[in-house]
Structure 1
Amino acid sequence: MGSTRKAQKPPPGIVFIEDYEENGEVQILGIASRLGITPSTYRKWRMAGKGPQTFDLGKRVAARIDAIDAWIAGLEKAAQQRVEHAMRAAEPRRPRIRAAA
């Protein structure tokens, strides 16, 4: 007999990596969807120590929605604070001197 185990819904304020679906409709967007990436990309980020802070909730990876929003806000703030580096003026090209044949 096959098991028809229903996917567990995340607690309020917490999301899993994947979207939570019920009756074929997306009910709660997961971590990956909130970041605009695929779940496999998020797993790679997590292995590399990138992305919002997560924790294990049973056998699933979970994150607080507030932590995801704060991480995105931090990226936005960092992008706004980037300082344009002063560029020096372009130097004139030197003509190439070819050896006489």
Structure 2
Amino acid sequence: MASRTPPDGFVFIKDSPKGPGIASRLGISAETYRKWRMAGKGPETFILGNNVCARIETVDAYLRELEQAAQRALPESRPPEPRIRRTKPAGHRALAAA
């Protein structure tokens, strides 16, 4: 039976005895990562035997890109939203103090 551990410097989608897999490193489930992969999201991967595999450096670089993108998207870059005045509906009456 073939070994279910990735070669040194590589990771599979799921965790292995060698350490966390791609999904764990991204903080998502293996099922979510599979959906991302089919949609073209996430780090570059390839098939190694019967397993989806990625270089650890590739996964770490993807995480760095996400971090840098989040730092660039500062709240000041979004224009302020206009304030909306709320009016009382027609026929609204104030409650009389009893």
TM-score, normalised relative to structure 2: 0.78
Secondary structure of 2:63's aligned partner: helix
**15, 21, 37: which is aligned to 2:28?**
37
Partner of 2:43: 52
Partner of 1:93: 86
Secondary structure of 2:43's aligned partner: coil
**59, 69, 81: which is aligned to 1:68?**
59
CA RMSD of aligned residues (A): 1.7
Q: 1:97 to 1:64 in 2, by over 3 A?
A: same
**12, 18, 23: which is aligned to 1:16?**
12
Secondary structure of 2:54's aligned partner: strand
Partner of 1:24: none
Q: Deviations over 1:52-84 (max 9, x none)?
A: 110111211000000101100100100000143
Greater strand share, 1 or 2? Answer: 1
Q: 1:36 to 1:96 in 2, by over 3 A?
A: same
Partner of 2:19: 28
Distance 1:28 1:88 in 2: 45
Secondary structure of 2:42's aligned partner: coil
Contiguous gaps of at least 5 residues in structure 1 = 22-26
Q: 1:88 to 1:13 in 2, by over 3 A?
A: same
